[in-house]
Amino acid sequence: MKYYGDLRSFITALDEMGDIMHVQREVDGDFEPSAITRRSYEIQSPAPLFHKVAGVAPGFRLFGAPAALSSRSDMPYARVAMSLGLAPESSGPEIIEALSAARFKPGIPPVRVESAQAECQQNILRGDAANLDRFPIPFAHDKDGGRYANTWGTLIVKTPDGKWVNWSIARVMKVDGKRMVGLIVPSQHIGQIWTQWVARGEPMPYALVQGPAPAISCVSGIPIPANADEADYIGTLAGEPVPVVKAVSLDLDVPATAEIVIEGHVSIERDCQEGPYGEYGGYLGEGSSAQPTFHVETITHRDDPIWPMSITGRPTDESHTLWAMGLAADALTYLREAELPIKTTWIPEDSTVHWLLVVMPENWRELLPGVSSEELTQRIGEVLFKTDAMVFIPKVYVVDDDFDPTNLREVVWALSTRVHPVGRRAVFDDQRVIRLPQCYDEAEYVAGKGAKVVFDTLQTKRHLHASFAQGYPEEVRQRILDNWPE
């Protein structure tokens, strides 16, 4: 296992295992990098690294699909695992266990270094020179409202009293060289902090960080409890403190090894239109909304900087790997805190974060004596639907552990044969919903409430599978494996 402290060492490691596609020809500055990245997701190719982008200075690069499924079929979650300092061959459930376990360990706070030691401040741009037009920011999709300056970067903000520093990912659209507009949802952590600045009547200082250590990008996109600092949690995952440096123009610390840092203030009003944007559900966006303006005041960057991007859409991209694992880890943490004997949780990538599988061990009835599967299903729903992360997930399946939840073919087989057509489910009405899932009607979106469901697919009797693993004597199976292929 190795922790990668900057984006460049991570890209080198991926390259050594054959998981980087070097695009050396010049690509246009509008759609070509995004279209290539989107295709790379859909055919599971190596991650594209664009060395020449039209309209920007030589040396400025783009990096697509940083945490998507690997092109290595023997280690599909390698990009996520390596981002978090885990072995590239780690399975999805092993990654989820690591994310959940770190929640119970003491945080390791970041350590501040001097500006001279911080690669992110090799170049400092102020005033008119601090302009987004010099960077290769493409359109993510052709129906988007503009070029999206943030799809895989980390937004750093803190409360006015300085007690809570939040690192998060939120989509941010470029308006012009000196302005961006970002989606700020009141219930999300950045929205809670922005609301405090609004109450004071002061614009919120922010730093938008592109290309920090991969673990920073990953953790910025997953749920951890409010008032917890992501930097401390990342230190726990890494086993070492994150090096940070004071921002040039703000009282914020930023990751010292980042590629690019944009500094400025966020308006106290929703004074600019943001969107539409093609989101993780797999549909091109429609409509826009009034959101706060992010004013660009200072930009710092490394020599020959790399701008990473996630081009969301149909599976599988970072929304369906890293974010889904983060939501599953959050669910696992709360269920285990409720003293339920959960084996693992999993969100299949192809469900676009609309399904959560809660996997029970074979002996769960012994561990919960006197509890029926119906009661267990109800308890699971009561725990999960109180959490913030479950606002994104409308359907939960409680399943046995006799199949691989990370294998979509097995998931489809198990759910199609075990979900009762009418009964064996717990329905939770009037749950909080948002517009990102596509399964609700307009009245429910307007009300912000809709139904969610937990399906009980647990078997009262385990049935043997008509499969190679369970349909033949062990000695026959072993003889076949020893001689395969014949």
What's the CA gap between 66 and 284, in Å, rounded?
A: 21
Which tokens hold the place of 175?
Answer: 């308006």
In which residue are the tokens 């090894």 written?
257
Distances in Å between the Cα of 123 and the Cα atoms of 119, 126, 129, 259, 299 are 9, 10, 11, 10, 8
Which tokens hold the place of 325?
Answer: 């694992």
- Please say whether the beta carbons of 240 and 279 come within 8 A: no
What's the CA gap between 132 and 149, in Å, rounded?
A: 9
Q: Percent helix, strand, coil in the chain (nearest 5)? A: 30, 25, 45
Neighbour order of strands in the sheet with 449-456: 344-346, 355-360, 395-400, 449-456, 425-432
DSSP annotation of 27 reads B
What's the CA gap between 233 and 367, in Å, rounded?
A: 31
- Please say whether the beta carbons of 165 and 150 come within 8 A: no
Helices in 362-451 by DSSP H: which ranges? 364-367, 373-384, 408-418, 442-447
Is 279 marked active-site?
yes
Of 259, 279, 297, 318, which is the active-site residue? Answer: 279
Could you give the angle at the alpha carbon of 180 between the alpha carbons of 40 and 163, nearest 5°?
100
What's the CA gap between 319 and 310, in Å, rounded?
A: 8
What is the Cβ-side half-sphere exposure of residue 43, based on CA atoms within 13 angstroms? 10
Handedness of CA 279, 284, 287, 288 (dihedral sign): positive
- Please say whether the beta carbons of 304 and 334 come within 8 A: no
Strands (E), 114-220: 123-126, 148-150, 154-158, 165-168, 172-176, 179-182, 204-210
What's the CA gap between 469 and 286, in Å, rounded?
A: 47
Residues serving a catalytic function are 279
